[in-house]
Structures are given as C-alpha cells and as structure tokens.
C-alpha cells in the first residue's frame, strides 16, 4: 500500500485486500438523522461512512446481497432519499446482547451532494 492511498478501515484494514471503492468515503458520524428502510420497515442503524456511490452501515439486521434498501438522510434541514442495494452484510460485533452487522450499500444513483474526493487528499 503506498503512502498516498487512504487507509482502509474496519474489516478492510488488511494490506492483502485492495480498496476497490469508486469514490472517496467520508466519515458520517455527524449525520445523526439517518433512517434505513428494508421491505417497508424502518430499522435502527448507524451510518458509519458515505460516499457518492455508497455507504457503510451498522445495524442488527443481517441483509441479503442484492436486497433493495431505501435510505433517508437529514442534512441541514433537508431530507435526501436514496435508493440502493446491499452488496454484503457481515457480522461485526455484539451491542446490548444483540448481534450487529456491517452492511455495504451501493446507491442506484450517485449522491452528488458529496464531493468526488476528500479535499485534504
């Protein structure tokens, strides 16, 4: 891994795994008004990171690859609806005696509110 590549986080923090992201991923810890809807049901989830092309979430729901999802983000008093599909969902931890899964989501359309890359790169 070269010094100019961004560090991979979480389960991807292994030099043998290549980062195949199409867009820079931004920390989403400051986005608190986030909802994920699966098959019409709203689920508690934590948005971990987001890019123009996808997001990483943590929730107690294990999701099947290719499942359709609908996200709602509230940023500065504006709600952004985003459709996508699950790429993968893997067991990550236990929280309050409940299993937690990290799920990667690919958006159906690019989320153009975000810049293509991090300005500090």
34-88 pLDDT, tens digit each = 788 877 888 888 889 999 999 999 988 888 899 999 998 877 788 889 999 999 9
Give the pLDDT confidence score for residue 18 in this predicted structure.
44
77: containing domain: 22-107
Rounded CA-CA distance 53/111 in Å is 6
Neighbouring-strand partners of residue 78: 75
| 37 within domain boundaries | yes
Q: Which residue has the higher pLDDT, 19 or 70?
A: 70
**0.85 surpassed by pTM:** no
Give the pLDDT confidence score for residue 7 in this predicted structure.
40
| 60 within domain boundaries | yes
Give the pLDDT confidence score for residue 106 in this predicted structure.
95
Residue 110's pLDDT band, with cuts at 50, 70 and 90, is very high
Q: Which residue has the higher pLDDT, 23 or 2?
A: 23
CATH number of the domain residue 99 falls in: 2.40.10.220
| 9 within domain boundaries | no
How many domains does one find in the chain? 1
R_g over Cα of the chain = 14
């Amino acid at each position: 891994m070269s010094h100019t590549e961004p560090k991979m986080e979480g389960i991807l923090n292994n030099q043998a795994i290549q980062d195949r992201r199409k867009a820079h991923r931004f920390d989403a810890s400051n986005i608190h008004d986030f909802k994920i809807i699966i098959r019409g049901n709203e689920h508690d989830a934590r948005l971990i990171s987001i890019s123009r092309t996808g997001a990483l979430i943590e929730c107690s729901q294990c999701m099947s690859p290719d499942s359709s999802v609908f996200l709602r983000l509230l940023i500065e008093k504006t709600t952004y609806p985003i459709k996508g599909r699950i790429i993968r969902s893997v067991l990550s931890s236990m929280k309050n005696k409940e299993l937690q899964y990290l799920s990667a989501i690919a958006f159906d359309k690019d989320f153009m509110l975000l810049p293509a890359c991090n300005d500090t790169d």
